[in-house]
Amino acid sequence: MAPLAGSSTASFQNTENPKPKLPIPEPIYSNIPGTWAYDTMSRRVDEEILQRTYEDNKDVLEREDFGTIRSKFDALRKDLQTSSKLQMLEELPSDASPERKREWQEWKTILQPFLDRQDTWLTAPWMVTEFYVYRRLIEAIGFWDQDSPGYLYDPFVKQKRAGLESSVGSAEAMLAKIPNLPKSSSEGINLAASIALWGNKMDLSLWPADASHATIDIFSTILDKAQENLLHDDSDKLAAHGEQLRQRGGGNVDIIVDNAGFELITDLALAQFLVDSGIASSVTFQLKSHPTFVSDALERDLLEHVEHYANLDPSIYPNARQSGEKWETFLKDGKWKCNEDNFWVQAFAMWDMTEPLRTDLKERCDLAFVKGDANYRRLLGDCKWDMTASFEDVVGAYFPCPVCALRTLKAEIGCGMDADQIERAQSLDDNWQTNGRFGVLHFGSGASN
């Protein structure tokens, strides 16, 4: 089925923000059988992700006080199974906080064009529906409702904890490398960035933490193949920018975080190197404001990861323990900061970044690392760009500060890759766009530069 006429908007807000330099193409839809987007929305989210969520939370979901939550959870699954029409989020109580009202209104802005068209879960743009699944789950739980038994309840905590616990074996070897990386040569920043990039391969929604392969040190093998599996590499530009920041006494660097578990440990390792090398005087972790995409990290996850590592047995995990203690100090000293923002859990294209976040990044941030596939999709507005279109023209032209995307490919979307690299990946692997085998490191100068 082709997308509906007039459904090409990927830009929901029509803000005055700078936009990509090239004409914005159609967004990805999930109504084309055989695509990853279709499989995700027509089967995977319900049959795998929500089924697993049910199993992990069975003890509470079957409790009497969780009855309303269970009904809403089942209704969400039914809506997905029947690909029903999208509906607006439930009205808020009149005494809801300004923060909640604002967040609700932002979702209205996102959804209204597709409600007007009576779109279904499969006919609205994929980015909208996929983020909306998790927002509906949060609504079902009553995550922000102090009277709900689900108040601040995280349905993914079991999987995130399993991911954290199983991360240690691989992380010990990886963290041993970080203090010894050369601080002022490109080799150091490039290896730290590569570690954080390939950490994205270990995504819990694709590789559950309790799968047998997750407990052994597969990361060294992944790193060995890093260069070979990179389809675009701007690490020279990244290193040059990092060196400029280092020479002027360190900049404010942000990491727009993706998954908890092993990937988050690789992000903390990158942040450790950035501070130790003097490239960053401060690192801000940009985190999700509610549980989403199974493994995406909240501030509380980050703090739990740091605490877990700082309390590891030093006779078994000396390097992981030492890193954990160091991370605790960075947080205590304010060299590391955490910031949760609703924008990170919404389906807006990144060129429609909401305030005050956009102005903060523009005025304060000297370099933002954007981690993972879902964040990368948002950098591209989840639109079907020509895969060879330059990253600078698509993202560098509008992003509010210098930006470095670290992504393994897990969705049928991309830009900034040379044709010969695309051909090489195609010839090596039929599923090259979605199975996380290949990665990209892009650098963009940003609209303010």
Ligand X SMILES: O=P(O)(O)OC[C@@]1(O)O[C@H](CO)[C@@H](O)[C@@H]1O
What is the contact surface with ligand X in residues (CB under 6 A)? 40, 130, 200, 203, 205-206, 258-259, 293, 372-374, 377, 410-411
Least gap, CB of 244 to ligand X (angstroms)? 29
Give the nearer residue to ligand X in terms of CB position, either 198 or 351. 198
Give the nearer residue to ligand X in terms of CB position, either 160 or 410. 410
Give the nearer residue to ligand X in terms of CB position, either 193 or 312. 193
Place of tokens 């923060």: 99
Give the nearer residue to ligand X in terms of CB position, either 246 or 378. 378
Give the nearer residue to ligand X in terms of CB position, either 298 or 447. 298
| Residues 38/102, Cβ–Cβ less than 8 Å | no
Least gap, CB of 198 to ligand X (angstroms)? 12
Q: Which residues pair with 442 in a beta bridge?
A: 405
Whole-number Å distance between alpha carbons of 30 and 44: 12
Give the nearer residue to ligand X in terms of CB position, either 232 or 410. 410
Tokens of 114: 């597709």
Burial class (CB in 10 A: 0-12, 13-18, 19+), 182: exposed
Least gap, CB of 80 to ligand X (angstroms)? 13
Judging by DSSP bridges, how do beta strands 367-371 and 403-408 pair with one another? Answer: parallel
Which of 43, 41, 47 is closest to 123 using CA atoms?
41
Residue 103, φ and ψ in degrees, nearest 5: -65, -40
Least gap, CB of 259 to ligand X (angstroms)? 5
Least gap, CB of 340 to ligand X (angstroms)? 17
Give the nearer residue to ligand X in terms of CB position, either 410 or 437. 410
Judging by DSSP bridges, how do beta strands 403-408 and 439-444 pair with one another? Answer: antiparallel
Least gap, CB of 375 to ligand X (angstroms)? 6
Whole-number Å distance between alpha carbons of 280 and 92: 41
Place of tokens 């989210």: 45
Judging by DSSP bridges, how do beta strands 280-288 and 251-256 pair with one another? Answer: parallel
Whole-number Å distance between alpha carbons of 305 and 297: 10
Least gap, CB of 127 to ligand X (angstroms)? 9
